[in-house]
Structure 1
Amino acid sequence: MASSSHFTPDTSSSRSCKYDIFLSFRGEDTRKTFVDHLYSSLKQHLIEVYKDDEALPRGDSIDQSLFEAIEDSQMAVVIFSKNYADSSWCLDELSHIMRCKEERGLIVLPIFFDVEPSDVRNQKRKFGEAFAKQMAANVTKAEIWRKALFNVGNIAGWESKNIADGG
């Protein structure tokens, strides 16, 4: 992990983590394109990355394994795409990421892949349509998810439209 010390604010005061980066993304939108390229590039730079299809132990409870991996990471990179909010798994993952940000200082870096930060923050346009479906199906979690989306939408991140060849 020494090679990635530039990702951690102060490694002397932070606890040792198994992963440098936890990747949160909607598989059907970005797994075989952006996420696979990002993952490969990070691994080439000897950065320890948690990506569910590479690191999730077979036979484990998915939610518990994901939450433990988030807790055992220095940073979470959340790749928001148009259908990210169409997954209750992604929304639960995001809520846990934001809880870890507040409770233990997890660094959160959002990437807005073909969506605007304001779409995430305010659940608008295609992103909002996807969120509305989950909100209707999971009324008890809706407010927790909405707060997490609002808070992460206020974090400075990368927007694909501002990156060369990003759309």
Structure 2
Amino acid sequence: MAASSSNNETTPPQYQVFINFRGDELRNSFVGFLVETMRTKNVNVFIDESEIKGRSLDYLFKRIEESRIAVAIFSKRYTESHWCLDELVKMKEQMEEGKLVVIPVFYKLEPAVCKNLEGDFGGYFKTLA
């Protein structure tokens, strides 16, 4: 029995929740508190805490595929990030295949602004297109 317990310790955890957010805007505030709270309740959470800029997104896509739930936190500057949007596309694909539940959170942003691509949110998105 002890051997199987040590094997479990070396196996990486199944990520239950993948959090997609604009890092420099929310990492040290809302997302930090959210992740800390989830982890104290023993919820496995993945955020890109130590991702190297310029690294392939394949690693993050794999984490999305391993997750059961994804939380997309839309904020004013969310659409500035190609990474956020690429992750969102992957999350949508997984959701359409019935493999992922995606929960949208609107952080200091009205849902209509997001839906209608208004304000800075819409402006940043339109410059990427």
Pick the TM interval, shorter chain.
0.7 to 0.9
- Structure number having the greater helix percentage: 1
Count, aligned residues = 116
For the pair 1:102 / 2:96, whether they are aligned, the reply is yes
Give the secondary structure class of the aligned counterpart of 2:20: strand
Match of 1:27 among 18, 23, 32: 23
Pick 1 or 2: higher relative contact order, CA cutoff 8 A, min separation 6. 2
C-alpha displacement of 1:104: 2.8
Match of 2:123 among 129, 134, 142: 129
C-alpha displacement of 1:105: 3.4
Separation of aligned partners in 1, 2:39 and 2:56:
23
Amino acid at match of 1:121: K
Amino acid at match of 1:117: P
Contact 1:18 1:48 in 2 (8 A): yes
Give the aligned partner of residue 63 of structure 2: 69
- The residue correspondences of 1:53-92 to structure 2 (distance < 5 A) are 53=49, 56=51, 61-92=55-86
CA RMSD of superposed structures (Å): 1.7
Amino acid at match of 1:64: D
Where does the alignment leave 5 or more consecutive residues of structure 2 unmatched?
Answer: 1-12
Separation of aligned partners in 1, 2:43 and 2:33:
14
C-alpha displacement of 1:18: 1.2
Moved over 6 A (4+): none
Amino acid at match of 1:80: F
For the pair 1:49 / 2:74, whether they are aligned, the reply is no
Q: Between Structure 1 and Structure 2, whose CA radius of gyration is higher?
A: 2
Contact 1:119 1:127 in 2 (8 A): yes
Amino acid at match of 1:126: D
Give the secondary structure class of the aligned counterpart of 1:29: helix
Separation of aligned partners in 1, 2:59 and 2:97:
19
Q: What TM-score results when the alignment is normalised by the length of structure 1?
A: 0.65
Where does the alignment leave 5 or more consecutive residues of structure 1 unmatched?
Answer: 1-16, 136-167
- Give a deviation string over 1:91-140, Cα, whole Å, max 9, x none: 010010011000133101111001111111221112101112212xxxxx
For the pair 1:40 / 2:40, whether they are aligned, the reply is no
Give the secondary structure class of the aligned counterpart of 1:35: helix
Q: What TM-score results when the alignment is normalised by the length of structure 2?
A: 0.83
Give the secondary structure class of the aligned counterpart of 2:89: helix
